[in-house]
Amino acid sequence: MPTDSENKSRWPVSDMLLRGTFATQTTAERRLVVRNKIVGALVFVSVMSARIYPKRITAEIALFVLAAACTYYAWEKRKYFQSLDELPRRIEMEGMAWAYSIGLLAALWLAGIGYAVSLHWPFDPKLLFWVPFLLVAVVLGLVKDLYRYFASRRY
């Protein structure tokens, strides 16, 4: 008969919170963890070099490495997501849906507040900080609409 410990799901909390994985011990997960450590180390080295040698070229390299690392992380995360079985995948999907909704809401709120503030001080260019938030909200909305359109073509 099943033991008492088998009645518990025992999700790997530390891995989920610190590494962003479900500790499934699969090849995809090991690849994600190892490659992300390498990419993280590269980012650290490039950012530190930019701090130690504050020249335009080191700053540009650091920026490039950071952008490439973020893109690579998203790519690896996508591959890991595809390797998950249906329950962790569903949990991950729900997490992404919440992140999207809260991100969109936060961007719209900040854009709205920033715009309201800028109406009172229209000549200070620093107060146009609401524009990036509005752009983020527009991009998020656009990506979701495009996904909805293309996904609906498949069914």
Partner 1 sequence: MRNDLRVLRARHNLTQAELADRLGVSRQTVNAIETERYDPSLPLAFKIAAVFGQPVEKIFFAENGSGGARSLAK
Which residue's CB is nearer to partner 1, number 8 or number 154? 8
Query: Closest separation between CB of residue 29 and partner 1, Å?
Result: 11
Query: Closest separation between CB of residue 69 and partner 1, Å?
Result: 28
What tokens were used for 87?
A: 């329950």
Query: Closest separation between CB of residue 33 and partner 1, Å?
Result: 16
Which residue's CB is nearer to partner 1, number 48 or number 87? 87
Query: Closest separation between CB of residue 125 and partner 1, Å?
Result: 52
Binding region for partner 1 (CB under 8 A): 1-2, 6-11, 22, 24, 85-88, 90
Which residue's CB is nearer to partner 1, number 8 or number 153? 8
Which residue's CB is nearer to partner 1, number 82 or number 119? 82
What tokens were used for 104?
A: 């969109």
CA 55/CA 44 separation, integer angstroms: 17
